[in-house]
Chain A
Amino acid sequence: MAETLSRPQDHREWFAFVLVWGAAALVTAVFCWLLGDIIWHGLSHVSWTFLTTSPENAGRRGGIGPILVSTSLILGVCLAVSLPIGIGTAVLLAEFTSDQSLFGRMTRRSLDVLAGVPSIVFGLFGNAFFCKALGLGFSILSGGLTLACMVLPILIRSTEEGFRAVPASYRLSAAALGLSRSTTLVHLLLPAAVPGLLVGLVLGIGRAIAETAALIFTSGYVDRMPQSLLDSGRALSIHIFDLSMNVAGGDANAYASALVLVVLLLAINGAASWLATYGLHRKIMTV
């Protein structure tokens, strides 16, 4: 790309050149500072024992085993609910309704609003609806369902993009072969739209796993190993918040938990981009 553009010539070009590199350097510097700080303080506390044992003495000592379990359960509930609804809605919006239809327009508009709803408002809503009105109480289920509402717009938006990226010739050829729309969907469009879905999944998981405000009033605070989805379970980000804000001497473990969270995110992102580049090509080729 850079070769197609000519080199900086006059003052304005130089100024822009400096500005762009400066901005990039500034961004990198701030983020290295932040990440470096977490790694520097957190690394020495992370060990296998830390990952598997229970928190002791209000989290000052011990590990984050049950918290990791709770976090994954909350995430599991969230995905189990949001994936079918998200994919279904995306399919409908991209393949089965025209952009001009009233239903499509209304749905899309309400999803746009939903995407902007502050997480704390999701927390208020989850507390009033799932915990109180449905009687689920402070539980992993309430937290997961609240998060599902939250990640839904992200998931739908990127899956829809995935479907729109599929060339129209696929649909035309399928129709010409006399395939029904459902067959076309399952065998042609879905596999081809998976990259978009994966992007949405990564963004959604990223948002869900990092969420604090929506979970404080829904999944609660209990740092014990959960035994069912109706138990309250503390998510990793809430653990970090509690350790840094409420527990004297919790900083070391807060840093370590933050590091674990960042590494988890990195792993999820990495896995998704690997899947998108290697796993999918093969699948599309064989279908």
Chain B
Amino acid sequence: MTSLSSNTLSRWSTDELLCWSLRGIATIAGAIVMLIVVFLIVEALPVLHHVGLLRFFTDPSWHPAEGLYNLTPMLWGTLFAMTGSVLIATPLGVLSAVFCHYYAPPVLARPYRRLIELLAGIPSVVYGFWGLVVLVPLIAEVQPPGPSLLAGILILMIMILPTIALMADASLATVPQQYIRGAAALGLPRWAIIRGVVFPAARSGLLTGVILETGRAIGETMAILMVCGNVVQTPSSVFDPIRTLTANIALEMAYALGDHRAALFVSGLVLMTIIVALAVSAEWISRGRMYG
């Protein structure tokens, strides 16, 4: 309380100073995205200038050394790998969160949660390394060549599973106990409560989880580079090798010069566009929910 007297006079100026410095800090944080976009555009500008954006989608192939810059097969590669892995990981992740909350005995639930947390932090290189020496040869036995869209989907699925599992876990935890008790008092069986009461109540958290895992699936680089085969083509089956936009950058960046390097920054811009679209749709979904 000794501080009160000395504070009374200077209170508002201190608060104002604090508020403005915080605003400055937040501006830095908010400006990073702008900075990233600006730098990507600046670096991509030379090639956009004398090749034009259109040719990145209409050229016959991706052979930057020969002046051909078609990105569409890699765009498809990214989208297919993302869709496949999200479709598998979402039910698995949500079910594993349900397991933690409503099925597992407490003795199992805690270590299981720790396991998932640990897996969330394992570096993508390790997943990729494992995929390359264990998973890819297995797939090659079934249907050569081995490195394929399927390998990518499976590795991505394992990598994004912790994200959705932890998010689902957190959102299930926010479902009010009364809801569940009430439903149980009505004599509903366990799965019916989960499906009819818990999922609707936790919907917003689950959706956020799906958005987050989708972002991670799009952005994953190193593991995909190691298991996907990296052939620039639109896949016709899951056993076909693909190259994603991210792998394209990682694979060629260190070797690229001039227009080729600039073309990789265009890949980066395309990725940014997808991410922005995802963020916008996430907000659109959440707004629809808010008023719907």
Q: Which A residues contact B (CB, under 8 angstroms)?
A: 1-2, 4-10, 12-13, 15-17, 19-21, 23-24, 26-28, 30-31, 33-34, 37-38, 84-86, 88-89, 91-93, 96, 103, 106-107, 109-125, 127-129, 133, 149, 152, 156, 178-183, 185, 203, 206-207, 209-213, 216-217, 237, 240-241, 244-245, 254, 258, 261-262, 265-266, 269
Contact = CB atoms under 8 A, between A and B. Distances in A.
Nearest to A186: B18
A178 B283 CA distance: 38
A1 B101 contact: yes
B9 to A, nearest CB: 11
A243 to B, nearest CB: 9
A43 B154 CA distance: 26
Interface stretch (B51-59, B142-150, B182-190, B229-237): B182-190
A28 B115 contact: yes
B-side interface mostly: helix
Nearest to A155: B29
Interface string B189-214: 11111110000000000000000100
A121 B40 contact: yes
Nearest to A24: B99
Contacts, number: 276
B55 to A, nearest CB: 21
A9 B184 CA distance: 13
A110 B33 CA distance: 6
Interface residues of B, number: 98
A118 B221 CA distance: 8
Interface of B: 3-4, 7-8, 11-12, 14-15, 18-19, 21-23, 25-36, 39-40, 42-43, 91-92, 95-96, 98-99, 101-105, 112, 114-127, 129-130, 132, 134, 158, 161, 165, 180-181, 184, 187-195, 212, 215, 218-222, 226, 246, 249-250, 253-254, 264-265, 268, 271-272, 275-276, 278-279, 282-283
Contacts of A27: 92, 96, 116, 161, 165
A92 B99 CA distance: 37
A10 B117 CA distance: 34
B158 A30 contact: yes
